[in-house]
Structure 1
Amino acid sequence: MAPKRRETPSKGDLREQAILDAAEVLLEREHAEPMTVESIAKGAGISRGSLYFYFGSKQEVLAALVARTVARLYLDEQPADPGLPAHDTVRRAVGNAARAWREHGPVMRAAVEFGPEVPEIARLWRETIANNAEAMTRVLVAGGLPAGDGPTGAAALAQALCWMTERNFYHASTQPGGLDRMTETMVEIWCRLLPGG
């Protein structure tokens, strides 16, 4: 007989979630730089020593927060409707990306900024962009672009545009109303790639 799964999270799981929640609140209020292990612990209602039981550093907290956010983004993604025209699928995908930046902007900006110095964050972020590029490659091929491996094939174009979208949304997410304007621009760029765009 299989062991019974625990339905409710353990005290340790709840404390770890409280640490990540506190870090996310601090990112929204301040920025990753002024955030310290002490301020995260205080926000979670625990001592600095208790925080070290779960995470060895601020960078480890940020990596876990990015991992949690990326996992939520994957859960939020809707599978593409095969009957939907490519232009509509592109609009939906770019809109979903903009929504993610609206809802999780501070964490996503921290991923971009700390990736160069925290290898785990860099890995998580590259995998996220690669996942998006794979999905968008399928959309571009379905929309009529060549599937070849060359620099003008759908995969290369999707990868370049996913990184372009990421960087533009990163900057736009810091400006009031910036994401709305940038969403329109990025939809326009993606759709112009498609035949009849």
Structure 2
Amino acid sequence: MTGHHPGRSRRATERKGDVRERSILDTCEALLAQKGYDAMTVGDLAQGAGITRGALYFYFGSKQEVVTALVARTVEHLWERSRATAQAEEPRQAIAAAMQRTVELWNEHGLVMRTAIDLSLTVPEIGELWQHTADLFIEAITAVLERAGIQAGAKPYQAPAMARSLCWMIERTFYHASQESREELRQASATCEHIWLTSAGLIT
């Protein structure tokens, strides 16, 4: 029995820690909407999560670390939703599915996505996260283009270069549309999907 209780206690502590960390990140997302990144403080984060500043520092060393973790959680959701795109059999369906999943996440977490883009040039950890996410999407877009018959290679009109341009076009288009309304985002998604289909030679 003596060997059983410490293990159970550790598991309970880990679960409690997971709940607290999630609460801090959820609070951070809410405060981004209410105050913005610059005005938000560690005290605000602790108060919103129902813990002391000292307790918050047990999980994160700074406001920047909290936001970085929030971005990491969000982009992981983005990639999880779009992971099947590269493996989908039919390019048209793959493109439609990718755009649908992406617009859903921008509707849910557009503020976090815009914050990630805004901070990507000044916060190296966020910049690396965002670039890694872009690289994954470029790889997935490349696979769809190649499956649609676009040639592989390093030339400007071949699949990898086209995929890079499509990825960054989608990012910038969604960034602006998400600040307007869900309808603007829906229309922007439809436009990006049309451009991707055209680039793949699937519509003329």
Quick one: which amino acid aligns to residue 195 of structure 1?
Answer: G
Separation (CA, whole Å) in 2 of partners of 1:79 and 1:6: 33
Matches within 5 A, 1:31-180: 31-80=36-85, 82-84=88-90, 86-176=91-181, 177-180=183-186
Quick one: which amino acid aligns to residue 11 of structure 1?
Answer: K
SS at match of 1:137: helix
TM-score between both structures, scaled by the size of structure 1:
0.90
| Residue of structure 1 in register with 2:200 after alignment | 194
Say how many residue pairs are matched.
Answer: 194
3-12 or 36-45: bigger deviation: 3-12
Separation (CA, whole Å) in 2 of partners of 1:129 and 1:78: 13
Percent identical: 44
Distance 1:7 1:94, change over 3 A: farther
Structure 1 counterpart of 2:188, from 176, 182, 185: 182
Kindly report the root-mean-square deviation, in angstroms, between the aligned alpha carbons of the 2 structures.
2.1
124-133 or 16-25: bigger deviation: 16-25
Post-superposition offset of 1:6: 4.4
| Residue of structure 2 in register with 1:16 after alignment | 21
SS at match of 2:84: coil
156-165 or 86-95: bigger deviation: 86-95
Q: Which has the larger radius of gyration?
A: 2
**Maintained 8 Å contact 1:87/1:194:** no
TM-score between both structures, scaled by the size of structure 2:
0.87
Post-superposition offset of 1:162: 0.3
SS at match of 1:77: helix
Separation (CA, whole Å) in 1 of partners of 2:89 and 2:61: 48
**Maintained 8 Å contact 1:149/1:156:** yes
Quick one: which amino acid aligns to residue 160 of structure 1?
Answer: S
**1:31-64 superposed Cα distances (whole Å, 9 cap, x missing partner):** 2222111111111011222212221111110001
SS at match of 1:10: helix
Separation (CA, whole Å) in 1 of partners of 2:83 and 2:119: 28
131-140 or 63-72: bigger deviation: 63-72
Q: Counting helix residues as a fraction of each chain, which structure ranks higher?
A: 2
Q: Could you list the runs of 5+ residues in structure 2 that have no partner in the other structure?
A: 1-6
172-181 or 12-21: bigger deviation: 12-21
**1:100-142 superposed Cα distances (whole Å, 9 cap, x missing partner):** 1111111111100111111111100101011011011000000
Separation (CA, whole Å) in 2 of partners of 1:82 and 1:106: 29
Separation (CA, whole Å) in 2 of partners of 1:101 and 1:142: 27
Distance 1:77 1:141, change over 3 A: same
Q: Could you list the runs of 5+ residues in structure 1 that have no partner in the other structure?
A: none
Distance 1:188 1:11, change over 3 A: same
